[in-house]
Structure 1
């Protein structure tokens, strides 16, 4: 044994060939944590000191190669002062450089995933051979940073500037064949031949058949582009990528700038350029937010996995109500492999649901994400029915009928008599109390909420709502079914609006106050879109449906009259009374025309002013900052109340619910991280500035205590 550690071993196998194996003790995958980096330093030094070694193969003892950096550990490094962080990155790069500079040829055998730092390890080798399952890439931009272990330096010199920009700026994972096509790997073989192929390749390099020195030299020099070629390549790429990434996500464009600036330098100077830009991004609030989202998402997955132990297996599902929502639920269930019955009392509704599912399958075929055979299988997994004939075989029933408590109670009681006693019933309700609906049932322990967001196929969140009598197995079964459907479930407790809509309606309440104060709703939309929302509040209400929003607002006002009951008529009331229901009938805050692709396009409608005039009771001069605060303070405070009231269990779940459910700007990390970024004390002081606007703007006593104690939500 040449070197033996807890993450890495190096041993001689034959004819002076050494195998450096990553096999992190106690973990299911390899990742670059401090231990692994420290041991890689020692392993490289041990190889350098052993003059009998003629070549090195790098392998993995896990089912994958290296999944990337251990971001939980690296977050601590990101918090270091800039000089210390620069020294830390420099020491890591020195390890990769020393590996790259070994006096013998090196070959990496990539089995499965090699992402981020894992891929940068591969790039430091002379040759790369991958198995057919390999997926490789540099996804760091998704965390608000770019590669920091030489990825922006080595990849362009290996696969060319254009290909490297596409890989790094998009952050996408690439298949083994895609990597082979651009030269990121040198061979792709069946898994069973991977190590034999790597061994063969290193022997050919030792014999001189493969010129490893020439391959290595290209990574040590400047990029081989003339000044004009550089200008054309980089300037056009920056413009295109900036348009795709948007103004709030600087990492993709900064990565291109780093590649451009380093193009005229050799490796060591180029790495200094990369490190300087990497550190700037690592210290940014955007990176902090996106890393926070990544960690929150991991926590959500871990929590959802705990339910697997008690969840019943869902082999057959059913949806009641075959409209757009029912069709969307049926599509998602069938697509992910769970057969589903789609029941309605009207033939035309069944046809609508099937049509919706068929359209969604057709779109996947258009985008190359499904073939005709796959579509046929999935469509056959949706069985339309007008009766309860086959419901004895159903494990979970999702009720998705009209949002009316009496109708829902009637339907739920009816279906309860048609299913097995152990079958789970779930209501896809956006606001109605699960405890109220459960009053109609004989077995309330088998009932919970399962709130999908529209459009079902696009929105990742499912709120799983626990009623007072809901059993743990019911929750576990519905969480498992949501996961099986490809969704991110968050378990919440019952209250009007649950988590997401309870938080959304104070935001809409702030909007109502702004319009009532004479602020143009088009301006409000523009300000909030610049803030980072995918659409402004007026446009969002048009998309949701003015009637739907009006009904939900009434439910929320009844549930929380102290702060959500409006003192007088609002813009929502005015539009509802004028039967301007939004996109669904072509007129809401905006009017809607059909564009060339057949999609609704919003246009400003002059007649709206006359409809809104009666509800405008003042005309105040407000800044863009005021507009943001009028809307964001109530949203953040209601999120805090949900956490304090135990509606949601953790700050991570609260923030992810808003990001996945209503498109809260990811680069801001969620409502609670937004408050943390500002500082709890500063947020309380800001809310107090707007206290005259009413109870929605009044911090809770517990939040004031947090402010006094210097506490935060994420520590």
Structure 2
């Protein structure tokens, strides 16, 4: 047992009238987390309060950090194994027992929430009798654990169920992982008061102490009933199947244990006393933290995302330089979305198209987005109007004068892109950053159309721009470090996550998602029932089913990209190998005239633009009725493996420069299933499936099985083989 003294992370400050302020302040970290030192400090504070019960008038819990409390220490949680599960369980129970002392003290305990109180931070606040929150844009309140494959394990399930009732706790707090700003937190009942400034925050907390000398939680009062009752009540029992159906709908049958465990813990904990409920909650959390899926999600959505957002891909030593006026060329949906994102970030934008009418239509897109934001309460009318004043729509290239950033979003044709840059490079600022929003065309070749290739870079946004959080920054062969740093800083200013890749046809995201689409289409060509193909994509956890996604892209786009790739390969003297999907796409276009949703006919039928079921002709012309029913596990693994394997090739070829970029890019950009932790983490955490074995060796064995059955595209690359042989994993550390 480790008996090393740990630094105190909670300061005890007592006023002359015996009101104790507990100041959360871990001296070893910039934020407060529920680590071993905190648990020791919380135990000590709880014991001292219990001893001083008769002399302490009340307690105020606040923080010396910018945030209130950041939650559980994810470094500890990701390291839990079945062998250490008991210790992890007991650590969680220690937290719950100490917080239980606070709420049963008999004296008022108030949370003065001065910053973000998420996860464990909100659980500390829940153990208080009253919650006052600072009115600040930086403040967020809630329990986002589900987004990391976890559940609130510091009493959060137990207390929210007793506070809101089972149904409302699930809807408001537990299943969505929603983060509330101050006003919405007050409206939803997560907090009790809002304070305008730090002084008022503490004053309101003290006022509650003075006004309520004897405080207790409602659920500790004799005869208290949980709002809405327990599952023994017919009304609540009737709602529970709807929650089960909701989980199935949201996950598509993909393996997400956290929502399932949260639902079970909420229902079961409502039927027992508080202390037993804590045990129920702790057991369900322990099951999660010892599982691979939770480790995958923590790695990706915390550690990898933190590495990417903190600037791991930004060149060191380049001074920041803020964009002041951005030219966006092309006012279609993509260009209009980019212009809106820039204006929302406070940057003046000139949105140019070939006609004034086209440019105005692009600006109208921002008007619609602003109207929706006002209607939702996410912006005031004044804020929306200010955003719109920052967007100038024009057809006159002269209006681009002085722009220090150019983002081109015109038709995917090298000649057209070269032309627009030639028209403007003498008009914009002489050192303007020149960006192309191409999704597949090599940046090095596009840079040949400008006189300053060192300032030319790819900025690959994803549609719809206002909702998609990722931007893929593509370095061309001559892109300079300053251009890369400026592009990185611009993307972060837009509030988006930047990944950095090197130039290659299709880059990383477009290339890899193409493998997913091709595999699904190839299955149809093999005679697999199309509905089984779509079901496999859903059960694997993809947000869009593969044939439906192909329709959205239009079948002609992949064929055009394929022909460009073929010509490029042949020009470079490489052999061109057709994919089994090619013949299906060609028949769909040439024989049946079905090119996708925009044409009203693709793999699906459409009525008034709405999807109306899979086209019956797929079964007639492609499905082999003599085949045995498809093995859904194999179909799912084919989709997952083909993307993961090509991601390894991207790393091997130097297209990808970091594992974190690969994982984050695949999750935020191309819909790789979140439970995997991303394309490379999926390989690290592979648990065997049909191939047996786990980790990299198990993945290699299964890849070889798929290669023998379906072709060389499943053959494990040399980099993967080397790492598997050495017992390594894919990591940047």
Structure 1 length-normalised TM: 0.90
Match of 2:363 in 1: 354
Matched, 1:642 2:650: yes
Q: What does 1:34-45 align with in structure 2 at a 5 Å threshold?
A: 34-45=36-47
Partner of 2:536: 527
- Name the structure 1 match of 2:706: 690
Deviation at 1:304, TM superposition (A): 6.0
- Alignment partner of 1:256 out of 254, 258, 263: 263
Relative to structure 1, the CA distance from residue 238 to residue 112 in structure 2 (aligned partners, 3 Å threshold; closer, same or farther) is farther
The match for 2:284 among 277, 284, 290 is 277
- CA deviation after TM superposition for structure 1 residue 608, in Å: 5.4
* Matching residue of 1:291: 298
Q: How large is the Cα RMSD of the aligned pairs?
A: 3.0
Q: Which residue is equivalent to 2:588? A: 575
Matched residue SS, 1:439: helix
Asked if 2 retains the 8 angstrom alpha-carbon contact of 1:431 and 1:555, the reply is no
Deviation at 1:433, TM superposition (A): 0.9
1:69-100 Cα shifts (integer Å, max 9, x gaps): 22223222466543333222222222222333
Partner residue in 2 for 1:603: 613
Counting only pairs closer than 5 Å after superposition, residues 347-426 of structure 1 correspond to structure 2 as: 347-426=356-435
Matched, 1:167 2:173: yes
Q: CA deviation at 1:117?
A: 1.0
Aligned mates of 1:698, 1:558 — CA distance in 2: 24
Report the Cα distance in structure 1 between the residues aligned to 2:60 and 2:501, rounded to whole angstroms: 50
Q: How far did residue 498 of structure 1 move? A: 0.5
Aligned-partner Cα distance in 1 for 2:328–2:51: 67
Q: Determine the C-alpha separation between the residues in 2 that align with 1:494 and 1:79.
A: 43
Which stretches in structure 2 are left out of the alignment for 5+ residues?
687-694
Cα offsets for 1:4-49 (capped at 9, x unmatched):
9542210221222222111222543322222222222223233334
CA separation of 1:457 and 1:79: change in aligned 2, threshold 3 A? farther
* Partner deviation per Cα, 1:95-142 (whole Å, 9 max, x = no partner): 222333436432222223212111111222233333333532222122
Structure 2 counterpart of 1:342: 351
Aligned counterparts of 2:245 and 2:40: Cα–Cα separation in 1: 37
Q: Secondary structure at the match of 1:513?
A: helix
Pick one of 122, 129, 134 that aligns with 2:132.
129
Question: Is 1:500 matched up with 2:519?
Answer: no
Q: 1:49 to 1:657 in 2, by over 3 A?
A: same
Q: What's the counterpart of residue 429 of structure 1?
A: 438
Stretch deviating more after TM superposition (538-547 or 89-98): 89-98
What is the alpha-carbon distance in structure 2 between the residues aligned to residue 445 and residue 350 of structure 1?
29
Tell me the distance in 2 between the aligned counterparts of 1:316 and 1:44.
55
**Contact 1:499 / 1:642 at 8 angstroms: preserved in 2?**
yes
> Is the Cα–Cα contact under 8 Å of residues 154 and 219 in structure 1 kept in the other structure?
no
Could you list the per-position Cα deviations for residues 351-390 of structure 1 after superposition, in whole angstroms to 9, with x for gaps in the alignment? 4423444444444445443444443333332212212212
SS in 1 for 2:672: coil
> Structure 1's 634 and 161: CA in aligned 2 closer, same or farther, altered over 3 A?
closer
TM-score between both structures, scaled by the size of structure 2: 0.88
Asked if residue 663 in structure 1 is aligned to residue 671 in structure 2, the reply is yes
Partners of 2:222 and 2:679 lie apart in 1 by: 44
The CA deviation at 1:320 is: 1.2
**Does the 8 A contact of 2:60 with 2:109 survive in 1?**
yes
Contact persistence 2:166–2:230 (CA under 8 A): no
Quickly say closer, same or farther: Cα 1:270–1:337, change in 2 above 3 A: same
Segments of 5+ residues of structure 1 without an aligned counterpart are none
- Contact 1:158–1:219 at 8 Å: present in 2 too? no
C-alpha distance in 2, partners of 1:292/1:342? 39
1:57 aligns with 2:65: no
Q: Is the Cα–Cα contact under 8 Å of residues 518 and 620 in structure 1 kept in the other structure? A: no
Q: How far did residue 630 of structure 1 move?
A: 3.5
Once the two structures are TM-superposed, the CA of residue 432 in structure 1 deviates from its matched residue by 0.9
CA distance in 1, matches of 2:14, 2:581: 81
Find the residue that maps to 1:450 and give its secondary structure. Answer: strand
